[in-house]
Amino acid sequence: MPQVLDGNAVRDQIKAELRSRIDLLRDRFRTPGLAVVLVGDDPASSIYVRNKIKTCEELGIYSEAIRPSAAITTEELLAIVESLNQRSDIDGILVQMPLPRQVDSKRVLDAILPQKDVDGFHPLNVGLLSIGAPGPRSCTPAGVIQILKRHNISMQGAEAVVVGRSDIVGKPMAMMLIHESATVTVCHSRTRDLAEVCSRADILIAAIGRPAFLHDAHIKHGAVVIDVGINRITDRAEAERIWQGNAAKLAQFEAKGSLLVGDVNPNSMETRASAYTPVPGGVGPLTIAMLMVNAVGLAEQHACHFGIKLDD
């Protein structure tokens, strides 16, 4: 039987480790502070923000949600970001994506001070990642690294294939794997013979946003499969294609009207991989955990800026 890489367990380990760091900051500096800007009332974004705020409350991090109208202009949103940049009680700023069409997302993200960029998206922090220097890291790929390390899966010398080249997951994922001494190939929509490339991977990371797209032909026997995708299936025919012969899953679909699936066919992961992340319960829980790691790390940097020692 393959090993199921439990993201919930890793998340709980990370949160437990953060509590002592937060307590020390509170004793010697102040409570770490995170501001989340949610534009409009997109249901999915609202859920994400609510979960982030809830995690802050659990850990004792000060959190503040700012909720401007969906009609906001770029200049108005830039003014909000600038006001947060100036606040000494806010260590991290997160602008929830996606933003409305009329807003220039790049200008907004670039306006966040690098030392408050809790998502690790600022060009300066991307540059720090590229040279292996300390700084906030993109949360989802950073979570993948934690899953691998905490399950004692060696990346050194491994052939790793990343399917997807987004700025949020694919590109930083490749860079982080390189820093772990993996040999990395990045695939995308124009990769020739995707199955052949993927089937060479010791570690296969799927981040393409296409439900159950990768299957047996893409997975080498014994590979470690990390499924970053989260796709909601609401079509019965699609559910039958993905969970063919799995009566229990199809019964769940009938009861709920939908099911979550990653970018890799779950049956293929179970039959070919030596270890894999389930969906849900794999990579997903780590994204918010690593956001908290970034927020606490930025607060520690701010404390050091004021000459406060946290390491004695």
Supply the residues annotated as catalytic.
Answer: 52, 96, 119
Whose structure tokens read 């220039």?
104
Token pair of 219, please?
A: 């997975």
Question: Any long-range contacts for 229-234 (C-beta under 8 Å, 24+ apart)?
Answer: 229/261, 229/262, 229/263, 229/264, 229/279, 230/260, 230/262, 230/279, 230/280, 230/284, 231/260, 231/261, 231/262, 231/263, 232/258, 232/259, 232/260, 233/258, 233/259, 233/260, 233/261, 234/258
Q: How far apart are CA 227 and CA 261, in angstroms?
A: 9
Q: Which residue has the tokens 């296409």?
A: 210
Distance CA 147, CA 69 (A): 37
Query: CA distances (Å), 190 to each of 186, 213, 228, in order?
Result: 11, 15, 20
- C-alpha angle with apex 264: 258 to 266, nearest 5 degrees? 65
Query: How far apart (Å, rounded) are the C-alpha atoms in residues 312 and 310?
Result: 6
Query: Measured between alpha carbons, how far is residue 295 from residues 20, 61, 110, 180, 312 in Å?
Result: 14, 9, 18, 23, 21
Asked if residue 198 lies in contact with residue 214, where contact means CB atoms within 8 angstroms, the answer is: yes
